[in-house]
Amino acid sequence: MTAHLPLLLALFLAGALGGALLAVAFFRGLALELRLVTGGAALRGVALHVARFALAAGVLAAAALQGAAALLGALAGFELARRVLLARAARGEPGRLP
């Protein structure tokens, strides 16, 4: 059992990195989508919406194919990055979302 622990940890950390990168892309895309829809380019906004969810589904499916450790890591990384990004946006830091 302990022989598999380094592999599981590596999968978890790789998944966490992938999930965090996914969250950055996902929420930056959300900010762009908001600007498109409110700026009169609703069709481009809808296309971006579909692309964001397709990207999320693809990344999470790829993580799931690697196993539970990778999927849990991806979800943890996504959630952690989401919290950081939204906290920065709430503080109004320049160059942050939205």
Query: Domain limits of the chain?
Result: 27-81
pLDDT tens by residue, 4-47: 888 899 999 999 999 999 999 999 999 899 999 998 888 999 99
What's the CA gap between 20 and 1, in Å, rounded?
A: 28
Judged against a pLDDT cut of 90, whether residue 67 lies above it is answered with yes
Residue 98 has pLDDT above 90, yes or no: no
The pLDDT assigned to 4 comes to 84
Residue 8 has a CB neighbour count (10 Å cut-off) of 16
| pLDDT band per the 50, 70, 90 thresholds, residue 88 | confident
With contact defined as beta carbons under 8 Å apart, do 11 and 72 qualify? no
